[in-house]
Amino acid sequence: MSHRDDVKAFLSSRRAKITPEQAGLPTYGRARRVPGLRRGEVADLAGVSVEYYSRLERGVLRGVSDEVLDALARALRLDEAERCHLTDLARAAGPVARSRRKAPARDVRPSVRRLLDLMTDVPVLVNGATADVVAANRLGRALFAPLFHSPTAGTGRPNHARFIFLDPRSRDFWIEWEEAADNSVAALRAEAGRDPHDRTLIDLVGELSTRSDQFRGRWAAHDVRLHRTGRKAIRHPVVGDLHLDFETLELPADPGLTLITFTAPADSPHAYALAMLASWSVDPHDAASSSERHPR
């Protein structure tokens, strides 16, 4: 899809999700031919003309002001992730969008690798903008062993989205597979809004859309989410079920890279399972590489 098609699909899908009652509009009991709000109703709520809003929904966001974007976000009742996505789509429509965005980092700096090696009691991953695992400490590799050993990794870096949608074993690993799948696609969709010209992302989306009906349906929904903190439910092949809290930290010096830690409350069964996993991971085979170092 072109950038304009993405804008059109995003705005129309958000409009379709809002009922007149939710927007505080009268319905007078009449049947409606379209789901959600009409273009004219969104235009009225946003304080713009129907012609102008129709132009925006055709994908023409170039030059739109922040004030109009804010008004649209309020009219469409966008959450924080959707507001950010709309802003990213508008920025990407600008004439200098590509030159302003710094290319995403493809590897971590040596100081970050040292930090990972020092974090021995907490599983840590560093993910790239397109869901690649760029680096991990030993416990992170042990926790996500099915991902690192998945045939979908090939000779390159493991990729969360490929594992989820192309490796059947991911349904055993992720206890809440549907949620993991939704979050994976939502993160890629958000990245596509930030940088629609990223060739690595374009190729990944094309591959997954061709090979996975589950991915293709989710991609078409244009849903985006912020994935900063929460809980992951994992069924590990060695220590069993784990419910772990995760925190996502951006690395400002390395655009596109995020550091993710996984922890469990002290003295909980999940904390004991993590400690057992840490002991299991310290063996001659696994200790050969304490940090993930797949080739670029």
| CATH code, 163 | 3.30.450.180
Same structural domain for residues 90 and 229? no
Given this model, what pLDDT does residue 95 score? 64
What span, in angstroms and rounded, lies between the C-alpha atoms of 56 and 249? 34
Q: How confident is the model at residue 24 (pLDDT cuts 50, 70, 90)?
A: confident
Nearby residues of 139 by Cβ (< 8 Å), 6 or more positions away: 119, 120, 121, 122, 123, 124, 274, 277, 278, 281
94 assigned to some structural domain: yes
Same structural domain for residues 67 and 170? no
105 assigned to some structural domain: no
pLDDT digits (tens, 9 = 90+) for 232-244: 999 999 999 999 9
pLDDT digits (tens, 9 = 90+) for 254-283: 999 999 999 999 999 999 999 999 998 765
User: How much is the average pLDDT of 43-68?
Assistant: 94
What span, in angstroms and rounded, lies between the C-alpha atoms of 16 and 206? 26
Same structural domain for residues 124 and 49? no
Given this model, what pLDDT does residue 293 score? 42
pLDDT digits (tens, 9 = 90+) for 214-234: 999 999 999 999 889 999 999
Inform me whether the pLDDT recorded for 208 exceeds 70: yes
Given this model, what pLDDT does residue 27 score? 72
Residues above pLDDT 70, as percent of the chain: 90
pLDDT digits (tens, 9 = 90+) for 28-43: 666 677 779 999 999 9
pLDDT digits (tens, 9 = 90+) for 80-102: 999 999 999 999 887 654 445 56
278 assigned to some structural domain: yes
Nearby residues of 226 by Cβ (< 8 Å), 6 or more positions away: 80, 81, 84
295 assigned to some structural domain: no
Same structural domain for residues 14 and 149? no
Same structural domain for residues 227 and 158? yes
Query: Pick the residue with more confidence: 62 or 208?
Result: 208
Q: How confident is the model at residue 79 (pLDDT cuts 50, 70, 90)?
A: very high
What span, in angstroms and rounded, lies between the C-alpha atoms of 103 and 17? 34
Domain final residue pick, 42, 76, 100: 100
CB distance 224 to 192 below 8 Å: no
Among residues 215, 212, 278, 270, which one has the least CA distance to residue 240?
Answer: 270
Same structural domain for residues 65 and 43? yes
Given this model, what pLDDT does residue 104 score? 74
Given this model, what pLDDT does residue 21 score? 85
Mean pLDDT value across the chain: 89
Residue 53: domain span: 3-100
199 assigned to some structural domain: yes
What span, in angstroms and rounded, lies between the C-alpha atoms of 131 and 141? 15
What span, in angstroms and rounded, lies between the C-alpha atoms of 265 and 138? 21
294 assigned to some structural domain: no
Same structural domain for residues 138 and 253? yes
Residues 187, 193, 197, 199: what is their CA dihedral angle, to the nearest 10 degrees?
10
Same structural domain for residues 39 and 123? no
Same structural domain for residues 55 and 132? no
3-class secondary structure, 134 = strand
pTM score above 0.85: yes
62 assigned to some structural domain: yes
Same structural domain for residues 95 and 119? no
Given this model, what pLDDT does residue 32 score? 73
